[in-house]
Structure 1
Amino acid sequence: MIIAGEDIGKKFGKTWIFRHQNFELQSGDPTAITGKNGAGKSTLLQIIAGYLTPSAGTILLDGKKVDDQSLQAVLIGPYTEVIEEFTLSEFLKFHREFKKPLCSIEEMADSATLPLNKIIGEFSTGMKQRVKLITAFFFENDVILMDEPTSNLDSEGFQWWENQLNTKTDQLLIIASNDQNEIKHCSKLLNL
């Protein structure tokens, strides 16, 4: 799978966040998006995921506009939410209504060392981050987009993230971050 950006730009109001971005991202070739705070890293991830529309340019999936394609993508970021009123078990059962799981709910929770029957709203921020990451690692996704993926993770959580990341070799993986520990797994760099 190849996602390409042709002359991508985004503005809010009259201010351009970035302009004239051209890129080609390919499955099996992890990419890091870096840049100063406010450069548009998170915004570009949301455009690639289809959550935001670019102000200029076109996103292509295997040569066709993403609008015309079905993209199995997941976006994990500090601004993405989980349903806190659900237990982890309820949340994962709900999520599997939309995406195919790669293992059992019990295996997901065990891998992330999370309790299945506890209300997510009672989880720490690091535990909630692991819930978000479960949706990337243990459900079928063609594209995994991560914005500062290890924020709020302790050293054990970071090691779990790194171990899971190393198993994702066929998907198109994009990490937006300036943290060298997060982007060291990427072979390609797109600097905004």
Structure 2
Amino acid sequence: MEIASVPFGLRPLVERHGPPVEVEEARRRWSELVTAAEAGAVTLVTRDRYQWAALVPMSEVAEISPDVPSWPVSDARGKLGRLVGEIHSLDVRVQVLTRRGRPVAALVDAGTLLDRPEPADRLPAEALLRDGHRIELVFEPGRPGRVGHDGHVVEEPEDWFYAANAYDNRDTVVAVGVGDTLGEALLRLAPPPAVEADDHPPF
């Protein structure tokens, strides 16, 4: 697929993970792609050029609940087009793939990978806690926009989000993660940008 035909917002994913694989090709290479995902690779999958999902390792799944659909790898291959369509329409954000009942990979909304730090740049929450750090979880409710009497926007709306902030024993911020779910915020924990010593934590 030519980069010009990729939706503008998803181009960073193609630059990062390579060109997408059409559903029919993904079916032909299914065993190879799932095995690669188990090993940590991300493969972008498209249906009809405009429906997108990503085949990812389980480490890239922010949240798992009993309600998340799961499919044996062999079954998912046959219904891959439908699964990608459901993810694209956001009816289901995650589809877990299992082998002998064990989760091995997942199909997720490709957009959730945008702006997510590289795995090597993240600081896992479990490791931070084991090392004696404290993690504070914050919900920012956002706010609606405001329009003046003349119809012009006075205040832009702000979306709500979750934030996770990790502190060391001197209350210095050592990692920050932000996402639209709590699990996503924790998955995105990474060292904050360099700040001046007297600056306040980001959240």
Give the TM-score normalised by the residue count of structure 2: 0.26
> Which is bigger in relative contact order (C-alpha 8 A, separation at least 6)?
1
Give the TM-score normalised by the residue count of structure 1: 0.27
Of the two, which has the highest radius of gyration?
A: 2
